[in-house]
Amino acid sequence: MASTQVETVSTAADKAKLVLAAALVVGALVGFYLMASRGPIVQWAVLVVGLAAAVVAFGVSEPGKQLVAFARDAWREVKKVVWPTRKEAVQMTAYVFAFVVVMALFLWLTDKTLEWVFYDLILGWR
């Protein structure tokens, strides 16, 4: 059986939260440039506070909650990964380099053989 996922419909409140988040980002950037005459500390404070408010506004919306849930699931999956030991990583890297060298030699040899067959034997250009 195919499982179907139900998508939640964005409500007007969620759309308003997203518009508010976008407006806060724009406001933070505008405030950053307008506060240039007040000094860098005030300038950066306006930017950081505006961006933090935008993150909070986005975080309480349904897409924000879905993003947080996705990030939690992704982190849970990353923790399940069994990473190779240093010895295994070095061995696999050596295998890859050896394979690249063998393929390079094979392709070079194939190229030179075809060059010899076509130019020397068939066309007689040399």
Q: How many domains does the chain have?
A: 2
Q: Which two tokens stand for residue 123?
A: 């066309």
Predicted structure pTM score: 0.57
**pLDDT tens, residue by residue, 31-63:** 999 999 999 999 999 999 999 999 999 999 999
* Same-domain status, 69 and 111: no
* Same-domain status, 63 and 124: no
Out of 47, 62, 81, a domain closes at 81
* Same-domain status, 21 and 77: yes
**pLDDT tens, residue by residue, 23-32:** 999 999 999 9
Report the Cα 106 to chain-centroid distance in Å.
Answer: 35
Domain containing 39: what range? 12-81
* Same-domain status, 42 and 73: yes
Please name the residue ranges forming H helices in 60-85. 62-80
In a domain, 63, yes or no: yes
- Cα–Cα distance measured from residue 26 to residue 32, given in angstroms and rounded to the nearest whole number: 10
